[in-house]
Amino acid sequence: MDKNNRPYGGTNIHHMVLVSNQNKKFMNSIGLLPIYLNVIYFLK
């Protein structure tokens, strides 16, 4: 972590955008998890 890291600082807007994009990908993967489990279950 950067010592000068301020969550709401203007210089960290880019960082916040990256984090929000990562969160969207994470939530999408969580949403797809039941589908993956069903596919694995049916392939057994």
Check: pTM over 0.75? Answer yes or no. no
Query: If residue 16 lies in a helix (H) or strand (E), which one and from where to where?
Result: helix 13-43
Is 4 within a domain? no
- Is the model more confident about 36 or about 17? 36
Q: What local confidence, expressed as pLDDT, does residue 43 receive? A: 87
Number of domains in the chain: 1
Q: Is residue 2 part of a domain?
A: no
Residue 6, domain member (yes or no): no
Q: According to the model, what pLDDT value does residue 23 have?
A: 79
Asked, for residue 23, whether it belongs to a domain, the answer is yes
Query: Has residue 22 been placed in a domain?
Result: yes
**Domain around 29:** 11-43
* pLDDT score, position 11: 58
**Residue whose tokens read 């057994």:** 44
- In the 8-state DSSP scheme, what is residue 4? T
Q: Are 6 and 12 in contact (CB under 8 A)?
A: yes
pLDDT at 34: 85
| pLDDT tens per residue, range 5-29 | 555 555 566 677 777 888 788 878 8
